[in-house]
């Protein structure tokens, strides 16, 4: 009969899943519903008006107890909600038991004064656990069991001696409320676990979707052959590069790099070798420029662009010379191929922080390098 309710408990949570469930229970269940604990405070205080009717003396003690415990509930709840929400479950159990024990104590006090009709208010606390509380099943079972046991040990013996038949009716009602609240708590825990499973599935789908979107966004700004950035990335991030250089008051500089005689390489050795050459040159550029910039771009078919915001003329030329020296060292199996490059360097010594203008000057420098015989570096400052 209870298989539908107990089914979620058959899949025991362990390790990281258990930690996630606890976090979910605190932040998605306990915190949103913790305000319901305050909703019973006015009812609890309202019963204080009856203390003066049923207690012939010391009614003020019961009233002060109700007020003190109500203030305690409010202070503890607000404090834990803000600073230690992970203890809300235990705090609610403690506060509920404290309120229940105060009702038992007031009922016991009434019996010492000859009033045996003021001992049933505790059943409302049991109803609260079944209807409004969001405590886990184990804590609800512990709380309900302790409440029932307290009534049977503290109140029931005296009332049985007073009116045996009526007290049996009261005890049967307490047992019925105990069982109903217990089943309600069990079903609530079952629904919480199912909600957690649905939440986890949705969360996993969201994370996969986010990862796919991130991968797709990266692919749109990445050149698939060289794995360098593409022109779209340069267009999107160029203004940020300018602002960053201006903020740090550092000059911008660029290297425009072009593979010499690339059309001849394609025509002689085929496009597969041509692609391998492009990839190999890109890795040399990444090797020497990667630590200094995240803006290594495949600017055109066999043309590359690197943007820096930390180099002076000497440093820029040193990087360019390393690239120029290492590219011819690349080995191409089964060919007599020797690849060279030409480099146009440009630096914004006047610090205008205009990347488009700087790239234009780098392109002019590259044109001069080609005109003057290739396999060399030309520098233009602006």
List the catalytic residues: 302
What whole-number distance in Å separates Cα of residue 29 and Cα of residue 23? Answer: 9
Place of tokens 């932040």: 27
CA distances from 380 to 20, 221, 254, 375 (A): 59, 29, 10, 17
Q: Which two tokens stand for residue 45?
A: 């205080």
What whole-number distance in Å separates Cα of residue 186 and Cα of residue 136? Answer: 8
| Alpha helix positions (H), 132-163 | 137-150, 156-162
Neighbours of 308 (CB within 10 A): 21
Count how many residues are written for the chain. Answer: 382
CB 236 within 8 A of CB 221: yes
The torsion of the CA quartet 209, 214, 215, 216, rounded to 10 degrees, works out to: 90
Residue 149, Cβ density class (10 Å: 0-12 exposed, 13-18 middle, ≥19 buried): exposed
What whole-number distance in Å separates Cα of residue 19 and Cα of residue 143? Answer: 24
What whole-number distance in Å separates Cα of residue 127 and Cα of residue 131? Answer: 6
Beta strands in 171-260 (DSSP E): 253-259
Three-state SS at 214: helix
Beta strands in the chain (DSSP E): 253-259, 296-298, 303-308, 341-347, 377-381
Name the residue among 328, 326, 325, 320 with its Cα closest to residue 304.
320
């Amino acid at each position: 009969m209870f298989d539908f309710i107990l089914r979620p408990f058959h899949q025991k949570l362990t390790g990281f899943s258990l930690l996630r469930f606890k976090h979910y229970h605190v932040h998605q269940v306990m915190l949103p519903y913790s305000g319901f604990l305050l909703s019973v405070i006015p009812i609890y205080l309202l019963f204080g008006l009856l203390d003066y009717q049923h207690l012939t003396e010391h009614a003020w003690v019961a009233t002060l107890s109700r007020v003190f415990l109500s203030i305690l509930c409010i202070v503890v709840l607000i404090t834990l909600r803000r600073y230690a929400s992970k203890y809300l479950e235990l705090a609610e159990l403690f506060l509920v038991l404290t309120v229940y024990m105060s009702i038992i104590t007031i009922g016991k006090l009434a019996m010492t004064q000859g009033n045996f009709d003021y001992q049933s208010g505790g059943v409302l606390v049991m109803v609260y656990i079944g209807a409004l509380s969001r405590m886990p099943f184990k804590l609800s079972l512990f709380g309900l069991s302790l409440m029932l046991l307290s009534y049977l040990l503290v109140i029931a013996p005296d009332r049985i001696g007073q009116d045996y038949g009526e007290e049996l009716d009261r005890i049967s009602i307490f047992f019925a409320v105990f069982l109903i609240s217990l089943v309600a708590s069990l079903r609530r825990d079952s629904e919480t676990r199912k909600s957690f499973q649905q939440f986890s599935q949705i969360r996993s789908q969201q994370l996969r979707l986010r990862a796919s979107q991130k991968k797709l966004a990266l692919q749109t700004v990445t050149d698939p052959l060289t794995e360098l950035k593409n022109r779209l990335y340069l267009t999107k991030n160029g203004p940020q590069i300018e602002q960053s250089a201006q903020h740090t008051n550092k000059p911008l500089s660029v290297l425009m790099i072009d593979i010499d005689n690339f059309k001849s390489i394609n025509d002689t050795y085929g496009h597969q070798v041509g692609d391998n050459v492009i990839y190999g040159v890109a890795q040399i550029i990444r090797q020497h420029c990667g630590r200094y910039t995240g803006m290594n771009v495949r600017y055109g078919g066999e043309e590359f662009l690197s943007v820096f915001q930390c180099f002076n003329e000497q440093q820029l030329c040193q990087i360019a010379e390393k690239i120029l020296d290492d590219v011819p060292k690349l080995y191409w199996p089964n060919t007599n191929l020797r690849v060279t490059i030409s480099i146009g360097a440009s630096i914004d010594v006047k610090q205008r922080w205009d990347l488009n203008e700087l790239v234009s000057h780098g392109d002019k420098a590259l044109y001069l390098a080609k005109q003057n015989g290739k396999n060399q570096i030309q520098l233009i400052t602006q």
